[in-house]
Amino acid sequence: MANLATSLIIHDHVVTTEAKGKEVRRYVEPLITKAAKSPAGAKGEASVPTIRALNAALPEKRAVTKLMKELGPKYKERPGGYVRLTKLGQRVGDAAHTVKVELV
């Protein structure tokens, strides 16, 4: 789930199965909330505990940086619902229901 969440944060959208899409939404939304509500440090940067928590949840530093610098300030005033699922139909190979997961 962490790798799928990292891909979603870095690329802003990802296509996956419906079940994985619903789970990644449950995984990513608290991370964005944490980044958006992070208290600023003395020089205006993010707090160390917040960065450590995000580093523990995401395997790539790029994703944490994007969360703190771009997505956190972008969603600061939004009360929630940062991820949108759009149904795409069935996959050809195994007829699994696919969705496009994107950041709003």
For residue 25 the two structure tokens come to 């939404």
Q: Which class in CATH covers the domain with range 2-103? A: alpha beta
Going from N- to C-terminal start, the domains of the chain cover 2-103
Q: pLDDT value at position 43? A: 60
Neighbours of 65 (CB within 10 A): 14
Residues 39-61: tens digit of each pLDDT: 765 566 678 889 999 999 999 99
Q: pLDDT value at position 37? A: 87
Residues 75-93: tens digit of each pLDDT: 999 999 999 999 999 999 9
Residues 4-22: tens digit of each pLDDT: 999 999 999 999 999 999 9
> How many Å apart are CA 7 and CA 42, to the nearest integer?
31
